[in-house]
């Protein structure tokens, strides 16, 4: 009996020690310009099963299949891509709302994908999320005060009990809502105002990273601009790092410092906004950018439109080699057998040109497609 | 996505080219000054909902106190709850309104119509229908309320947990519920209640709970699964909320409405089921007085003496209606979107 408890302790002690170490690491500040979040080969496969009683796996939807990127302190990383390319799954994985099949998410150097208990709660304090749909992301049976105050109830160490109401009103003020609205219900607000409530909830714990999963795509264009500007203002005020997921290319360019382009569960190209928008080297990025609406009719007539043929292949059965080869006009035999790595293309290596950024294509070359 | 746009702008913010602040606010893709439009929007909201006695902004009110505030002014709720209070009162103290003894019968008056002092007439045994109807409330309401409470609590608890946590527990519960659904009510009642003999209502209540919980569990499971997929539950999880908090604060309040509605409707059918079982001779037994027993005794005589059937059946219908209306009013009050 005594031996048994001894071995238990021996197992528990290192686990507790790593937990303590992780929590201590999460509290350390990160210098501006240092990576705060490093994603390495993140994979999420959703199993496809057959059978009612005895389920057997017949395949997997490869929603996210080996995604790697860094997020630096104080920057905004935009992630773009068409519907179903795995953008939202990446957000859920980073929020630890889904369990990653493989890969690591390093927050301040510590892998957070396998955390539990106190350490997990400590991470959650520092990484928060703004949801896409302001109509389903607020509990209709709670007042605004309860919704924004809930983070303080879950993490009581952030604000003492008597202080919470004042804190909630401060947050309402910060996001541009009247602090007197504290007792109202979400349905009494418009879409833009609801999204501000969602942002206030995300800000409550004073996080370092906010993951925005299409935060403005459910809003009117005029309200989109308000919310984007509010988010930029808050970023300066609280030194936040954003991961901004969207499919609206112009909004992503407006808010992002760097942009990653996703296609079918993989990153196609990552670079600064100028590199991606003005000097895209991946054919998919070029096709995506050529679809951006141009308000000037004369420019519109003169520019080249790249029209892709076919549909996005099923993520349950992606093409071999390069995922984009089935729709790519540059595809050759090599693309079917050899998967291009996300790296700086050899032809641009060592050159001091904006085209020298990582791009997962064997035949990467510069092409100006955005006529602005 | 139905968009509950609450209030249209009564006066859209006027555009004045002389005021640079407004101009900036109107430009949808401009860089600065966007907050002004938000304030305009907020102010217009302010004008639509004036601070009045119905909308005090000084003190926070919980969902339940808000619901109570609304219920008090709902005539359906007031009427049905008054009726239920009255029924419960006479179930506890039947002698308040009936002075006779329901078991004191005189065969000489068999099936006679109303007479002075006996407004509802007599039944086949010559008992006073009015007294028996009043005394019958106790058995029917006890069975209905206790069976509903038992089935709703058990079903909502099991179904809620199964829906929230899923996996093998959910599969097990669903199959067990299927088995209980497969039991024929009458046959099951005949077997179960002929084994358990008692002069009280509890075996009947127990049997109804046993057969009733799977229905509530299915409804509860389904609405919990719907509710737990909402983004606000994900948001709570992202904040680090425990399972208990997510279930009690976010899922349960948004999943309880169908359970309340189904339970109040089931209450009526449980009272009727008690009558069925009593008719078969395995439910409540004389000398217990119940509407079910009286209805089944009177049913064959409906053409000679309809009053014997109509009074207890009317009392039964009124009771069932009162509970269903109450359930409806409570459901509406618990949904802030309908306010």
Min Cα distance B36 → chain A (Å) is: 9
3-state helix, strand, coil in chain B (%, to 5): 70, 0, 30
Mean pLDDT over each residue of chain B, to the nearest integer = 77
Q: Which of B231, B250, B336 shows the shortest C-beta gap to A131?
A: B231
Q: A317 and A205, same structural domain?
A: no
Least confident of A56-70, B19-33, B152-166: B19-33
* Confidence at residue A160, expressed as pLDDT on a 0 to 100 scale: 82
- The CA distance from B129 to B124, in Å, is 10
Q: A303 and A165, same structural domain?
A: no
Structure tokens at B25: 């606010």
Residue B30 pLDDT class (50, 70, 90 cuts):
very low
Q: What is the pTM of this model?
A: 0.74
Q: Is residue B4 in a domain?
A: no
Q: Is residue B2 in a domain?
A: no
- Domain of A298 in residue numbering reads as 283-348
* Confidence at residue B62, expressed as pLDDT on a 0 to 100 scale: 59
Q: Is residue A334 in a domain?
A: yes
Least confident of A271-275, B27-31, B183-187: B27-31
Q: B32 and B117, same structural domain?
A: no
Min Cα distance A295 → chain B (Å) is: 13
pLDDT beyond 70 at B152: yes
The DSSP letter of residue A266 is: E
CB contact under 8 A, A138 and B253: no
Q: B186 and B110, same structural domain?
A: yes
Q: A250 and A294, same structural domain?
A: no
Tell which B residues from 28 to 57 touch A, by Cβ distance under 8 Å.
Answer: 28-32, 34-35, 37-39, 41-42, 45-46, 49, 57
Q: How far is CA B125 from the centre of its chain?
A: 37
Q: B235 and B87, same structural domain?
A: yes
Q: Is residue B57 in a domain?
A: no
CB contact under 8 A, B337 and A125: no
Tell which B residues from 239 to 268 touch A, by Cβ distance under 8 Å.
Answer: 239-242, 245, 249-250, 253-254
User: Which residues, listed in sequence order, are joined to residue A242 by a DSSP beta bridge?
Assistant: A76, A210
Looking at beta carbons, which residues of chain B come within 8 Å of A191? 3
Q: A174 and A302, same structural domain?
A: no
Sign for the CA dihedral angle at A288, A292, A298, A301 comes to: positive
Looking at beta carbons, which residues of chain B come within 8 Å of A229? 31-32, 34-35
Nearest chain A alpha carbon to B31: A229
Residue B17 pLDDT class (50, 70, 90 cuts):
very low
Q: Looking at chain A, how many residues does it have?
A: 372
Q: B330 and B249, same structural domain?
A: yes
Q: Is residue B246 in a domain?
A: yes
Which has the closest alpha carbon to A65: A352, A365, A322?
A322
Q: B245 and B215, same structural domain?
A: yes
Q: The domain that contains B251 carries what CATH number?
A: 1.10.3720.10
- The CA distance from B84 to B255, in Å, is 25
Q: Is residue B281 in a domain?
A: yes
Q: A315 and A244, same structural domain?
A: no
* Confidence at residue A68, expressed as pLDDT on a 0 to 100 scale: 92
Q: B116 and B189, same structural domain?
A: yes
* Confidence at residue B157, expressed as pLDDT on a 0 to 100 scale: 93
Q: B139 and B203, same structural domain?
A: yes
Q: B247 and B167, same structural domain?
A: yes
The 10 Å Cβ neighbour count of residue A219 is 21
Q: A220 and A78, same structural domain?
A: yes
* Confidence at residue B53, expressed as pLDDT on a 0 to 100 scale: 39
The answer to whether B334 contacts chain A (CB < 8 Å) is: yes
Q: B89 and B29, same structural domain?
A: no
Q: The domain that contains A216 carries what CATH number?
A: 3.40.50.300
Tell me the pLDDT tens digit for each residue of B36-86.
Answer: 444 444 444 444 444 333 443 434 455 667 778 888 888 988 999 999 899
Q: A241 and A157, same structural domain?
A: yes
Most confident option among A20-24, A319-323, B3-7, B320-324: A319-323
The answer to whether B235 contacts chain A (CB < 8 Å) is: yes
Looking at beta carbons, which residues of chain B come within 8 Å of A188? 6-7, 45, 49
* Confidence at residue A10, expressed as pLDDT on a 0 to 100 scale: 46
Q: B201 and B118, same structural domain?
A: yes
For A363, list phi and psi in degrees, rounded to 5: -120, 40
Q: A213 and A87, same structural domain?
A: yes
Residue B339 pLDDT class (50, 70, 90 cuts):
low
- Domain of B42 in residue numbering reads as 14-52
Q: B83 and B20, same structural domain?
A: no
Burial class (CB in 10 A: 0-12, 13-18, 19+), A211: buried
Which has the closest alpha carbon to B250: A130, A188, A146, A99?
A146
* Confidence at residue B233, expressed as pLDDT on a 0 to 100 scale: 92
Q: Looking at chain B, how many residues does it have?
A: 339
Tell me the pLDDT tens digit for each residue of B82-126.
Answer: 998 998 898 888 887 877 777 777 777 777 777 777 777 777 777
Structure tokens at B261: 């509605």
Q: Which residues contact A221 (CB under 8 A, 6 or more apart)?
A: B28, B29
Residues of chain A below pLDDT 50:
1-11, 372
Q: Is residue B30 in a domain?
A: yes
Measured CA distances, B280 to A170, A299, A308 (Å): 68, 86, 74
pLDDT beyond 90 at B154: yes
Looking at beta carbons, which residues of chain A come within 8 Å of B48? none
Q: Is residue A321 in a domain?
A: yes
Q: Is residue A330 in a domain?
A: yes
Q: A217 and A335, same structural domain?
A: no
- The CA distance from A224 to A229, in Å, is 9
Q: A102 and A238, same structural domain?
A: yes
């Amino acid at each position: 009996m005594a031996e048994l408890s001894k071995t238990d302790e021996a197992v528990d002690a290192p686990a507790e020690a790593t937990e303590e170490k992780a929590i201590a690491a999460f509290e350390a500040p990160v210098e501006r310009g240092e990576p705060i979040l490093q994603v390495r080969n993140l994979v999420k496969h959703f199993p496809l099963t057959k059978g009612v009683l005895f389920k057997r796996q017949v395949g997997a939807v490869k929603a996210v299949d080996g995604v790697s990127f860094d997020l630096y302190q104080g920057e905004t990383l935009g992630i773009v891509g068409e519907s179903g390319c795995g953008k939202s799954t990446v957000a859920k994985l980073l929020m630890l709302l889904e369990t990653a099949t493989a890969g690591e998410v390093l927050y301040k150097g510590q892998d957070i994908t396998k955390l539990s208990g106190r350490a997990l709660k400590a991470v959650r304090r520092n990484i928060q999320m703004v949801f896409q749909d302001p109509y389903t992301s607020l509990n209709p049976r709670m007042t605004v005060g309860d919704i924004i105050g809930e983070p303080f109830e879950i993490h009581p160490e952030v604000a003492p009990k008597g202080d919470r109401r004042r804190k909630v009103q401060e947050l309402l003020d910060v996001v541009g809502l009247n602090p007197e609205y504290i007792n109202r219900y979400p349905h009494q607000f418009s879409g833009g105002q609801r999204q501000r409530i969602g942002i206030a909830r995300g800000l409550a714990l004073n996080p370092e990273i906010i993951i925005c999963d299409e935060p403005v795509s459910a809003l009117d264009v005029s309200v989109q601009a308000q919310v984007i500007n509010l988010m930029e203002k808050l970023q300066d005020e609280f030194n936040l790092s954003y991961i901004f997921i969207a499919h609206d290319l112009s909004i992503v360019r407006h808010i992002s410092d760097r942009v990653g382009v996703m296609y079918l569960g993989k990153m196609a190209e990552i670079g600064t906004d100028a590199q991606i928008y003005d000097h895209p080297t991946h054919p998919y990025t070029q096709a995506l950018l050529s679809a951006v609406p141009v308000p000037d009719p004369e420019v519109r007539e003169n520019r080249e439109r790249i029209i892709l043929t076919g549909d996005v292949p099923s993520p349950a059965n992606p093409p071999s080699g390069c995922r984009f080869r089935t729709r790519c006009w540059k595809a050759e035999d090599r693309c079917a057998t050899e998967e291009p790595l996300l790296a700086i293309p050899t032809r641009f290596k060592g050159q001091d040109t904006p085209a020298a950024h990582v791009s997962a294509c064997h035949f990467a070359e510069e092409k100006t497609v955005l006529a602005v | 996505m139905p968009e509950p746009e609450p209030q249209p702008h009564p006066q859209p913010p006027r555009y004045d080219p002389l005021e640079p602040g407004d101009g900036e606010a109107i430009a949808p893709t401009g860089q600065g000054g966007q907050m002004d439009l938000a304030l305009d929007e907020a102010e217009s909201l302010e004008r639509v909902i004036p601070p009045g006695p119905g909308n005090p902004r000084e003190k926070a009110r919980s969902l339940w106190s808000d619901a109570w505030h609304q219920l008090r002014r709902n005539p359906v709720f007031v009427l049905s709850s008054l009726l239920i209070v009255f029924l419960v009162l006479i179930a506890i103290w039947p002698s308040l309104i009936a002075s006779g003894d329901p078991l004191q019968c005189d065969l000489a008056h068999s099936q006679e119509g109303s007479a002075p002092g006996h407004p509802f007439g007599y039944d086949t045994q010559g008992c006073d229908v009015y007294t028996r109807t009043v005394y019958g409330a106790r058995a029917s309401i006890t069975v209905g309320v206790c069976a509903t409470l038992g089935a709703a609590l058990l079903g909502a608890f099991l179904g809620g947990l199964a829906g929230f946590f899923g996996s093998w527990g959910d599969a097990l519960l669903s199959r067990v519920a299927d088995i209980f659904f497969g039991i024929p009510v009458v046959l099951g009642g005949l077997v179960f209640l002929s084994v358990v003999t008692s002069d009280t209502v509890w075996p009947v209540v127990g049997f109804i709970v046993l057969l009733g919980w799977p229905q509530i569990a299915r409804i509860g499971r389904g609405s919990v699964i719907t509710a737990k997929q909402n983004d606000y539950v994900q948001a709570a999880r992202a904040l680090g909320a425990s399972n208990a908090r997510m279930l009690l604060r976010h899922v349960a309040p948004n999943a309880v409405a169908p359970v309340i509605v189904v339970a109040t409707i089931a209450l009526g059918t449980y009272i009727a089921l008690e009558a069925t079982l009593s008719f078969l001779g395995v439910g409540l037994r004389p000398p217990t007085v119940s509407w079910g027993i009286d209805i089944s005794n009177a049913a064959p005589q409906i053409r000679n003496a309809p009053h014997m059937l109509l009074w207890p059946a009317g009392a039964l219908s009124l009771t069932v209606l009162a509970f269903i209306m109450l359930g409806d009013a409570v459901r509406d009050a618990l949904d802030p979107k309908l306010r």
